[in-house]
Amino acid sequence: MKKLTAMTMAAMMVWSLTACGGGNGGSTTAAPTAAPASQEAAKETEAAGESLEETKDEEAAGAAQTSSGDYATSMEGPTYTLRCATNHSESFCTSQALKEFAKNVNERTGGRITIDIYYDAVLGEEKSCLEQLQYGGLDFLRGNISPLAEFHDGLNALQMPFIYKDTKHFWDAYGTIGMEMMKSEEMQQAGLFGLTFYDGGARNFYNSKREIHTPEDMKGLNIRVQESSLMMGMVEALGGNPQPMPYADVYSGLQTGVIDGAENSIAQYLEVSHYEVAKYLTLDNHTRAADTLIMSNKTRETLGEADMKVIEECALESWELQKELWAEAEGEALDKLKESGVVVTELTPEEQGQFEDACAAFVEGFEGGKYKDILAEIAAMAE
């Protein structure tokens, strides 16, 4: 704009000089020099106008690029070093997705935001880490969804046994109903903010005593569960004795006979070597409860809007990667377990039906049937 103004003023001055020469008693010496100057000024004025238009076009293009995914707005600002906790090992598939999440956030903020990941529960078990998130002592946690039902009890509905037709049905429910709950006012008031889900696989029973084909085989077995009324009620409905216990104590509990069995995904059953002390695995797929990536709401309120946009987008991208990694890991895990001598029991349709029937009344009546509307919404998503 300054250049355009200067050129316009120069042209006006030349024109003024020319006009004065024309009215000076017939003198013509100014005319030959004034004409080329006016033409040059006009050319420069035109060039300046073109330059201005190009600048506008470049600015518009830049704005469009920024709005469509360029993270220039996040390249400037305060520097943060944030902490993320997980009880998985560094080599676990979900940990690889966390690494990708941290890497992308760092790159898209120009190195301003660094997320350090702490593996193997070195910052505490999930319950402790949740408390740290609430008061801002921790920034991110990769954890299981079950403990979060304490803060939004609607999450219990998503974890009910035998309610999903297939994997697509599962993700359709979590990607809509689940995400709404994770970002809800209830969660934020508890000091938490959900970013994404990760595949935690279908959960199955394993024990050190015998093969399990029907709920009748569950009778008398002490089964470790998470500290969740839903999980305890499910095991009771199937005839077992639920035993809440910290995850880190399960191996020794199985080894010493304090508990007879537990339940988890195939991949985690292998990862933590529970197969060494509980060789009977039953593929009943009783629940599908996703893992979560959540952050401290205090940390969220500290960060700017542009930074949070980057973090949320990178989290969702890591979800897609993790689903692929999980599918690969689960298939490989089952092969390794069989090679290691684990007795894998695959239920017949009739046996599977007995498990589902045993839980039907429990699901319908859990906590007075308060989740029937959410369960109906989930059921309606099945194709």
Going along the chain from its start, the domains and CATH numbers come out as 79-200+291-326 (3.40.190.170), 202-289+333-380 (3.40.190.170)
* pLDDT band at residue 71 under the 50/70/90 scheme: low
Over residues 133-182, the pLDDT tens digits come to: 999 999 999 999 988 988 999 999 999 999 999 999 999 999 999 999 99
Percentage above 70 pLDDT, the chain: 81
Comparing 34-48, 106-120, 216-230, 318-332, which segment has the lowest mean pLDDT? 34-48
For 336, phi then psi, to 5°, come to: -65, -40
The pTM score is 0.75
Pairing mode of beta strands 113-118, 222-225: unpaired
What is the token pair recorded at 152?
């939004």
Over residues 79-95, the pLDDT tens digits come to: 999 999 999 999 999 99
40 or 299: whose pLDDT is higher? 299
Side by side, the strands of the sheet bearing 343-346 are 241-244, 222-225, 261-264, 202-207, 280-288, 343-346
What gap in Å lies between CA 172 and CA 168, rounded to an integer? 6
Residue 75's pLDDT is 77
Asked if 101 and 293 count as a contact pair (C-beta separation under 8 A), the reply is yes
pLDDT of 34 strictly over 70: no
* pLDDT band at residue 72 under the 50/70/90 scheme: low
Over residues 106-128, the pLDDT tens digits come to: 999 999 999 999 999 999 999 89
The residue type of 353 is G
* pLDDT band at residue 226 under the 50/70/90 scheme: confident
Over residues 335-383, the pLDDT tens digits come to: 999 999 999 999 999 999 999 999 999 999 999 999 999 999 999 999 7
- Cβ atoms within 10 Å of 185's Cβ, excluding its own: 8
Mean pLDDT, rounded, of the chain: 85
Placement of tokens 């940990």 in the chain? 95
